[in-house]
Chain A
């Protein structure tokens, strides 16, 4: 059943995608602009990319961002996964409702408040602000996203798999690593990717919690834009977009391929 696209559908499609992607497309196009004036097109060039790699400030910021992202995403994934397990498994413990609410609250908490409260905490305990405070802050807010993603997978997880593993002699820890984790792995990976992306583009929380020693890429871009948009910034953003797109595409393709392969094998078994 293929329906022809009606005029109304076409208009809404164009408008929808236009609103979503036009700004990004313009940004990408102008990153290849030969002119130093951001809004005037004067021919194709990759000079801003070359120049970008000589801009030590931006490169340093990118390096900080990457490290913060990798560490915080990994930590958030570990903590978020355990939180999800606790929430789905131990349904009878005292204060479960409160705990659930507390895990989800950061999802809707305004970033300014998260950032400010973390800043107050770090000041109170006299923690030198810098790389590690940003990383800790990112772990804090991204771990609940991981918990949500992993929890949805755990809810459909067949508990008898774990019982079978224990019945066959695996200790609870062994059961987790040999059976539970491999089965919920796609959700854990998706959670990691989500946490990494969140860390990559966070500006507000990082601004509150960082010190002079650690400037993340979004902070650097923001501060440069205030002095005027340069085509260099467009180039950085284009690279960021490319990384994020590649990540999302990889995750989707991996999932898709697994699904297709499973279906094909399933059909072969009954052929």
Chain B
């Protein structure tokens, strides 16, 4: 019942698509220079109230710096951050209406769990009885009711993570910043916690901004993802937008796995383009105004297609884009099998196949000949 209602509400939640919606957090020309290098480079972005926003990038992409600028630990070199209509310039971290959950959890080792959680409330001068109530509520929220008197080092990693979460939530900040919140948990626990966090975020109606390098985590949890590289936001979008319609080669390559066929445009028939790949395969693909529409015949271009959108078969295939080669690598993962097919031109094509029946995985083996094909609309023409 609950999941259903959450789903229907979430489906309609898209303030970024509404031109009249007012952004809750706005980065305006934000720049941070460390020792002559720009960690954040003239960055502009809007984040909306109650949004779960993920900053995704490799290390050094500037995602953590952006979070630290928002928390107030770093001072911008240029530009500003506006939070809920208030300019954050010059406001120290201890006066900002944001709280952060640290990657290392940063629990105070000399304080009990309850004191850790109460720390922020105490700074606000809240009365002891009210403080105790709020701490009890927070402990209940993270399912650690009986752990208030323990010290952090007496808890397991997962429990410490929950305490850190409770401590950052208890002040009911306008924005919760999460720095790799699940980075230190093992895979199973991480997956459970992902859903717990998203539910919690919805129930509390808070704005969450999460930094992560794990794209699966970002896609599972976030309403929108900002892919970062070299201190810039390269693309902002919902998980399907980022995955299915990457705007650049970098984003296509960074998110998931992709086959990129570099080539030259050799023919055009309306929106149907024919590209001759660098290794000599003509492929027929769909373009549109935005994607490939402006290309002249003879121009260099590239086509990106994800492994699961290719078909693989042990017998010759019909269709527009068929290539054949030798099965070079097989990775059986359980729910799916991933193949590396080596074409006659030595080029490797990656294909993944869903193991929808128990026999499907065992049909092909190393060194055998196999055929792959894809539909003209399976991938995207990349602008660069």
Contact = CB atoms under 8 A, between A and B. Distances in A.
Interface string B140-182: 0000000000110111100000000001100100000000000
B110 A164 contact: no
Contact of A265 (B94, B120, B154, B156): B154
Contact of A161 (B92, B103, B106, B150): B106
Interface in B74-115: 92-95, 98-100, 102-104, 106-110
* In the complex, the 4 A-B pairs of residues with the closest C-beta atoms, listed nearest first: A168-B120, A169-B123, A164-B106, A269-B154
A169 B171 contact: yes
Interface in A170-187: 170-172, 174, 178-179, 182-183
B71 interface: yes
Contacts of B171: 168-169
Contacts of B108: 161, 164-165, 179, 182-183
A158 B106 CA distance: 8
B124 interface: yes
Interface of B: 71-73, 92-95, 98-100, 102-104, 106-110, 119-120, 123-124, 150-151, 153-156, 167-168, 171
A74 to B, nearest CB: 22
11 contacts: A158-B106, A164-B102, A164-B106, A166-B73, A167-B93, A168-B123, A169-B94, A169-B171, A171-B94, A183-B108, A269-B156
Contacts of A182: 108, 110
Contacts of B92: 166
> B-side binding surface: helix, strand, loop or mixed?
loop
> A-side binding surface: helix, strand, loop or mixed?
helix
Contacts of A170: 94, 119, 123
A160 B153 contact: no
A143 B180 CA distance: 41
Given A163-B93, A179-B108, A168 B156 contact: no
Given A169-B120, A182-B108, A269-B155, 9 more contacts: A161-B108, A163-B100, A164-B108, A168-B167, A169-B95, A169-B124, A182-B110, A266-B154, A269-B154
Contacts of A183: 108-110
Interface in A205-264: 262
Given A158-B106, A161-B108, A183-B109, A167 B94 contact: yes
B210 to A, nearest CB: 16
Contact of B104 (A158, A168, A169, A265): A158
A167 B119 contact: no
B93 A268 contact: no
Given A167-B100, A171-B94, A266 B110 contact: no
